[in-house]
Amino acid sequence: MTELLKISLPDGSVREMEPGSTPYDVAAAIGPGLAKAAIAARVDGEVRDIGRPFDGDAELALITARDEADALELARHDFAHVLAEAVQALYPGTQITFGPATDDGFYYDVKAPDSREPFSSEDLPAIEEKMREIIRADKPLVREVWSRADLIAKWEAEGEVFKAEWAQELPENEDLTVYWSGEPGSEGAWLDMCRGPHLASTGKLDPDAFKLMRVAGAYWRGDQRNPQLTRIYGTGWLNKKQLKQHLHNLEEAAKRDHRKLGKEMDLFHLQEEAHGSVFWHPKGYMIWRELEAYMRRKMDAAGYQEIKTPQVMDVRQWEQSGHWGKYAENMFAVPDIVPEVDEGGDAVSAAPAVADDARWMAIKPMNCPAHVLVFKQGITSYKDLPIRLGEMGCCHRNEPHGALHGLMRVRQFTQDDAHIFCTEAQVVEEVRAFCKLADSVYQDFGFDYHVKLALRPEKRFGSEADWDKAEQELRDAVAEAGMANDEYGWEELPGEGAFYAPKLEWHLTDAIGRTWQVGTIQGDRVLPDRLDATYIGEDGGRHRPVMLHRAIFGSYERFIGILIEHFAGRLPVWLAPTQVVVATITSDADEYGQKVADKLATAGIRVETDFRNEKINYKVREHSLAKVPHMMVVGMREAEEGTVAMRTLGEKQQQVLSLEDALAQVSAEATPPDLRGTEDSAAA
């Protein structure tokens, strides 16, 4: 008698099934509704095809469309394969490479036949229509295991040189799996090499839930020395409603693009002469100054001492800290030499000669090693701890040109950086206090956020015992802060920590639902050891401090970019570079308009005047485009009555207020959020 398989379900029940049974068979045994809804299965923790037989006794969790993260991953993977099939059906001779799912869709890298130009956006409508045809055909997706030799022979025979190369390099003991779209070997069936999993058939996809978005150039295996391919990007969802919402969000994101708004608001620009470094204009730098002053007040109140450390340090320092071994390719290094000049003081050559024995200096990509060096000056007692050292530290990282993106990804950036040196007994309290500090900052800007714990990566420094301790300290601190729960999106992320420490991450949600990882705190025992940082303990002996790396904004550049997009340029009045424009209707009111502006300026309001000989509606449109929060429009009537007609950005109706009332309203809005309670108390 054949022994039955024992399949354990999430509710604790166990189903006995015949050998060769599949997750679909279990779903059907439970009920026809579940059999129809189940699209894949998690077998012993691994997502698998719904029709793949069990290997033996197993734990089973069936996946339906309600398991949205898994369902989307499967659907997007399938859309990618359907894309590749459609391209090869339309354009015989096309070679295919890889096609993964992405955060909001999928892509596939392909090489057009030699008989035609690379694919362009003009090809996308025809490819989309072919994809819908394949989906509506409801072709079964069938998994098979092939021998290495057979698969390589097939790819080579069909001229698929990229697939053949990849198959040759996979581990010899690894099963090479393929998926057929259509019954294996039948007419019109299409095959691709893939680990899976996939849905049961192409018909499980919604033909109206995807859209091809764009094409871009890509190199085979990401190496510019290899052949150039065409990457076709698409977005894919579970249904048409989700796709429609995503496309709407993309339209909204385009309107909020900080690069577009930065130009309209005259905040900053970037240019080739300084790749990845920002040219801040006066109005943009005013936002920076307000943020910096705000953060400085918050850090002062929390007991941080501000320092300033060098931009350039000897490479040997970075070797000792471990950064040179891990990040050298992302660091800018310069030889410590003096260029040779002639008698007139001109350089002898365009590029100075560098001797083989020249010492090398590196521009800092981060502030932490320098902060350790400050901590090490003099003798520190346990009574002095914790020591909190903060720096608005300018750093440089050698990011690839293609990865740069406005303010969001730059080469030169400034962090609201700080490092806390403390005893082991102080770690949990310091992290808890930081959690509360970060919470107060994000609330001031109106952000919701989630807190996540990034755990030890595969490649790391330090002992397992130290990692165990550091991870648990962060867990305990979040729990004591009352944030280790669903309300704060608490989640642990295996393998996502830094090479020297686990870290807490703050993921902000913006006005259109996007998430941005900004704040972080990391418990580090590695760097103090590598750089020999010590303090004198209560026992008179030397001890290693724990070093907490922390930031709230992350970088000023990126945080400003996030704010611009979150508020669609309509920054809170306290952050707006120009808070009020006083505009006159006729030149007869210019004198009164100047009086209004002077009074606002005396009260500390950032004010501009617009006394041009232009129609008032033209002025209103222009300053609305520049996202000025308030306009005070004055004519002779307002001059006679001592009033202003105040127009607030985004509101249809204007208010006619006395100058004193208008000044009070704007002054209240222009007060930074951390000072509002203080000013109210002072007034009382």
Residues annotated as part of the active site: 368, 397, 415, 417, 419, 503, 549
Report the Cα 44 to chain-centroid distance in Å.
31
Helix (H) or strand (E) holding 58: strand 58-63
Sheet holding 95-96, edge to edge: 95-96, 105-111, 228-236, 210-219
Q: Tell me which DSSP letter residue 403 carries.
A: G
Bond prior to 197 in cis (omega within 30° of 0): yes
**Range 316-325 contact pairs with CB under 8 angstroms and sequence separation of 24 or more:** 317/369, 317/373, 318/362, 318/369, 320/530, 320/531, 321/368, 321/369, 321/372, 321/527, 321/530, 321/531, 322/461, 322/499, 322/500, 322/526, 322/527, 322/530, 323/365, 323/366, 323/369, 324/362
User: Which amino acid appears at position 115 of this protein?
Assistant: S
Indicate the helix (H) or strand (E) that contains 131: helix 124-136
CA distances from 623 to 290, 435, 613 (A): 21, 39, 15
Return all residues near 269 (Cβ < 8 A) that are at least 6 apart: 262, 263, 278, 279, 281
Nearest to 451 by CA among 481, 420, 429, 421: 481
Note whether 276 and 410 are within 8 A (CB).
yes
* Residue 200 and residue 49 in contact, taking contact as beta carbons nearer than 8 Å: yes
How many C-beta atoms surround the C-beta of residue 71 within 10 A? 19
* Total Cβ atoms within 10 A of residue 139: 21
Cβ atoms of residues 553 and 575 within 8 Å? no
Note whether 454 and 496 are within 8 A (CB): yes
**CA 539 from chain center: how many Å?**
46
Q: Of all helices (H) and strands (E), which one includes residue 465? A: helix 464-480
Paired sense of beta strands 5-8 and 58-63, if any: parallel
Residues forming a β-bridge with 314: 361
Sequential DSSP letters for 164-233: HHHHHHS-TTS-EEEEEESSTTSTT-EEEE------SBGGGS-TTSEEEEEEEEEEGGG-TTSPEEEEEE
- Neighbour tally for 42: CB within 10 Å: 19
Two tokens at 434?
A: 């930081």
- Encoded tokens for 329: 């390719």
Give the integer Cα–Cα distance in Å for 313 and 531: 14
Which of 379, 369, 378 is CA-nearest to residue 541? Answer: 379
Token digits for 660?
Answer: 């004193």
Q: Residue for token digits 């952000």?
A: 447
